[in-house]
Amino acid sequence: MSEFVLHNAPQSTCSQRVRYVLHAKGKTFEEHKLDLFKGDQLRPEYLAINPNGVVPTLLHDGAPVTDSAVIVEYLEDILGDVAPLRPRDPLKVAEMRAMMRFIDEVPTPAIRVPSYNLAFLPHYQAMTEEEFQALCDSKPLRREFLMKMGRTGFPKADMDEALGRLQRGIDRMAAWLEASGGPWLMGKDLTLADISIMPVIVRMDDINLGNMWDQAPEIGRWLDNIRATGAFARTYYHGSLLTEKYPHLQAGAKRAEPVEA
């Protein structure tokens, strides 16, 4: 077994964070790609290493580390001398972690709502009510989320709320970039805060929500900068974007409407 084994899914935003950090650190790793619609994350052998039944999970010398925010901090703990992604000043570390907390509580869960309505809903609509209920019951961390979505999609009120939370994330990100002077959220050095919000911004751009930062061109520049990093292309290999997995989204995302309540 390799020193690092990553169980993840190509389109999973949380998986993308961990892949990026591993590549930024120059670490080779054995990648296991899970098919979430086939239920790979609910198989007994996977639940044995991650009882929450979600991706990603990193095995380091066979020991599991779960939750993407925990994993990227763990990698920084053990590989901090290689391409550092955390400030040295404890106050700056606290500032970075506060950013990461905001990212995980506001824009990260919000991006799931348009993602599910646009890309994943047809899969659930093809299920019977019994199959869908069994799926919900099998997901400890996503049960209530899926139940709220149901087999008809999130209603307009939920979509509007999610878009509002995404706009708050954009506004806060723009404020961070203005305060730091860029090019990164904390100034001249890329940190875990940038990597935490990266999948949200990439996903928004992919499903045609990039217009939400039209009044904040610094975010567009930030996106260009992170795409230019060496780790980005290796993280976002073909099939990592929703529009690559679901080609209908290339046109459909532009005209997709939330479901009326």
Q: Could you tell me the residue ranges of all domains in the chain?
A: 4-79, 90-255
pLDDT of 4 strictly over 80: yes
Same fold, 4-79 and 90-255: no
- The alpha carbon of residue 227 and the mean position of all alpha carbons in its chain are separated, in whole angstroms, by 16
Find the radius of gyration of the CA atoms of the chain: 18
* Residue 260: per-residue pLDDT: 35
Higher pLDDT: 252 or 251? It is: 251
Mean local confidence (pLDDT), 41-56: 94
Task: Measure the CA–CA gap between 144 and 159, rounded to whole angstroms.
Answer: 16
DSSP letter at 155 equals B
CB atoms within 10 A of CB 33: 14
pLDDT of 257 strictly over 60: no
Are 29 and 4 within 8 A, CB to CB? yes
* Residue 126: per-residue pLDDT: 76
* Residue 149: per-residue pLDDT: 66
Per the prediction, the chain carries an average pLDDT of 90
Question: What would the pLDDT profile of 76-115 be if each residue is shown by its tens digit?
Answer: 999 999 999 999 999 999 999 999 999 999 999 999 999 8
Question: pLDDT-derived band of residue 250, with 50, 70 and 90 as boundaries?
Answer: low
CA nearest neighbour of 13 among 169, 152, 132? 169
Fill in the amino acid letter for 18. Answer: V
pLDDT of 75 strictly over 50: yes
With the C-alpha atoms ordered 166, 172, 178, 183, is the resulting torsion angle positive or negative?
negative
pLDDT of 256 strictly over 70: no
Mean local confidence (pLDDT), 29-57: 93
* Residue 251: per-residue pLDDT: 57
* Residue 14: per-residue pLDDT: 97
Predicted TM-score of the model (pTM):
0.89
pLDDT of 152 strictly over 70: no
Which tokens is 240 given?
A: 């990592």
CATH number for region 4-79: 3.40.30.10
pLDDT of 51 strictly over 60: yes
With the C-alpha atoms ordered 78, 107, 16, 8, is the resulting torsion angle positive or negative?
positive
Mean local confidence (pLDDT), 26-30: 98
CB atoms within 10 A of CB 164: 12
Domain 90-255 has CATH 3.40.50.2300: no
Backbone angles phi, psi at 65, to 5 degrees: -125, 125
SS3 205: helix
* Residue 131: per-residue pLDDT: 76
Question: What would the pLDDT profile of 206-220 be if each residue is shown by its tens digit?
Answer: 999 999 999 999 999
Backbone angles phi, psi at 207, to 5 degrees: -105, 25
* Residue 261: per-residue pLDDT: 30
Q: Residue 73: CA atoms inside 13 Å, Cβ hemisphere, count? A: 12
Query: By mean pLDDT, which of 29-38, 43-52, 141-150 is the weakest?
Result: 141-150
Task: Measure the CA–CA gap between 16 and 156, rounded to whole angstroms.
Answer: 28
